[in-house]
Amino acid sequence: MNLALSTSFFPFHPTGRPWRMQRPAELRIDVDPRAAAADDAALDALHQRLHAPGDRLHGLPAFPLHDPGLRLHVREADGEFYAYVEDLRRGCLAGSTVFNRLVEVGRRADRHLRAPHSRYRPAYQRRGIAGAVYRWALDAGICLMTGARQSPGAHALWHSLARAHESGFAEVRRKQLRYLGSDIAAQDLERLETRMFLLGRGWTLESFRQATQMD
pLDDT of residue 31: 34
Strand-pairing partners, residue 179, are 170
Q: How far is CA 105 from the centre of its chain?
A: 17
**Residue ranges in the chain modelled with pLDDT below 70:** 1-38
pLDDT of residue 189: 81
CA 212 vs CA 27, 42, 113, 204: distances in Å:
26, 35, 9, 12
Of 108, 176, 168, whose CA–CA distance to 144 is shortest?
A: 168
pTM of the entire predicted model = 0.83
Calculate ∠ Cα 126-171-96, nearest 5°. 30
pLDDT of residue 214: 97
Query: What does residue 152 show for φ and ψ, rounded to 5 degrees?
Result: -55, -40
pLDDT of residue 23: 38
In this predicted model, what pLDDT tens digit does every residue of 86-108 receive, in sequence order?
A: 999 999 999 999 999 999 999 99
pLDDT of residue 26: 31
Asked if residue 73 lies in contact with residue 93, where contact means CB atoms within 8 angstroms, the answer is no
For residue 30, how many other CB atoms are within 10 A of its CB? 12
Following DSSP, what letter does each residue of 133-149 receive, concatenated? HHHHHHHTT-EEE--S-
**Strand-pair category, 113-120 with 143-145:** parallel
Cα gap 46→119, rounded to integer Å: 13
Give the type of residue at 137: A
